[in-house]
Amino acid sequence: MAAAAAVLGQQEPAALDRRAFLSSCRTAARKPESGAQAYGDSLAPVQEGGERLGHGEIIPRPQSGSADIRAAGRVGQFLMASTKLRTVALTLLAVACAAAGLAAALVSSGVYNVAANRQHLKPVYQLLDIAMRQSVRYHARGLEPPRAADEAMMARGAQCYRQHCVQCHGGPGVAQGAAGQGMQPLPGPLIDATQRWNAGQLYWLTRNGLKMTGMPSWEFRLSEDDLWAVVAFVQKMPQLSPPQFAEMAGQDWVVGSAGHAGRDDVFQPCRPPVQALRPGDAMRGQRALYQYACVGCHTVAGQAQASPQVGPPLDGMARRTRIAGVLDNTPDNMVRWLVQTDAVKPGTAMPAMGVAEQDAHDIAAYLARLY
């Protein structure tokens, strides 16, 4: 840049065409290796009269008295300012490239340990934790419980918590089960969860789960009422003594095991309603494909998933005439196939996935779009 100023003060040429001047600068910046041919015929005069800078710019000195001088002066100022800006931008770009290169090297070297029995590096943990908290706050804004919790709701929440949460989170006086204890990040006991999260956020966390942590989404496994009931119970947990918790949620814990001690006969199972309530919703069906582990066996083109080869690809399902070779491919038959898989085709390798009827309608609506 200092050189640019020096060049401006030099002897030099004839009538300066501003456009030619600017484009010569651009060309020079592109092609610092020089030679008149490199600039093209129309730019040759400028190139002759200018001086090449270290980084390839040519700043000729205009003749005094000409109206072009002022223009050239302005261009010179503009050029100096923009050169500064360019240096800053290039420096930032270089730093970003270096950081990306370092990250790529770290990832491809495999040095970072993904083992669940090794804690994250502290900065990595903090970064992920902050990202999680901010994301939950952002996405759960405006969520409110539909009604105040009463005793029946609390009792239902206790049942659902016992059926679906205790094995990972434990509760007052109850440890996490084996799976929960071996996880990274460790699922905490939720006794203090109300200090971090309000009802809407607890609902959001429970309904949607947390990517890459092992916290499952319960959207397809608990009804809306049950989701809010669990939230009400989690909010009550800090006030429960271990005996009170045991009384509400059941006492027969096998601590240190999966925590599921077979009292489902006593409790109403917490799962979504059986019958379909509305027409199939293809968007929701697409999510259900992940939430019922369908993509663990079937590929669907264009989806972010592993490439399993256990079941046939579901691409082009809408064009097929038969389902699994046994049913005509209609939406109702698709629902039958998904809800009563084994009855439709005894001994089939596709397991009964426990798809709720509404979810089957949603999935069928989605599959009917796969041409």
Q: Residue numbers of the site for ligand HEC (CB under 6 A)?
A: 132, 164-165, 167-169, 179-180, 183, 185, 187-188, 190, 193, 196, 202, 205-206, 210, 213-216, 218, 230, 234, 289, 292-294, 296-298, 310-312, 314, 317, 320, 323-325, 338, 345, 348-351, 353, 355, 363
Which two structure tokens, joined as six digits, stand for 324?
């699994």
| Closest to ligand HEC by CB, 78 or 125 | 125
User: CB of 367 within 8 A of CB of 334?
Assistant: yes
**Nearest distance, CB of residue 201 and ligand HEC, angstroms:** 8
| Closest to ligand HEC by CB, 62 or 285 | 285
**Nearest distance, CB of residue 53 and ligand HEC, angstroms:** 55
**Nearest distance, CB of residue 175 and ligand HEC, angstroms:** 14
Cα 355–Cα 359–Cα 361 angle in degrees, nearest 5 = 110
| Closest to ligand HEC by CB, 111 or 349 | 349
The span from the CA of 206 to the CA of 219, in Å, is 8
Cis peptide before 189 (omega within 30 of 0): no
The span from the CA of 138 to the CA of 147, in Å, is 22
Determine the straight-line distance between the first and last CA of the chain, rounded to whole angstroms: 60
| Closest to ligand HEC by CB, 72 or 230 | 230
**Nearest distance, CB of residue 106 and ligand HEC, angstroms:** 23
**Nearest distance, CB of residue 171 and ligand HEC, angstroms:** 11
Q: Is 222 exposed, middle or buried (0-12, 13-18, 19+ CB in 10 A)?
A: buried
256 — alpha (psi -120 to 50), left (phi > 0) or beta?
left
**Nearest distance, CB of residue 197 and ligand HEC, angstroms:** 6
User: CB of 363 within 8 A of CB of 289?
Assistant: yes
The span from the CA of 136 to the CA of 138, in Å, is 5
**Nearest distance, CB of residue 189 and ligand HEC, angstroms:** 8
| Closest to ligand HEC by CB, 54 or 325 | 325
| Closest to ligand HEC by CB, 58 or 202 | 202
Which two structure tokens, joined as six digits, stand for 353?
């996935």
User: CB of 338 within 8 A of CB of 363?
Assistant: yes
| Closest to ligand HEC by CB, 4 or 370 | 370
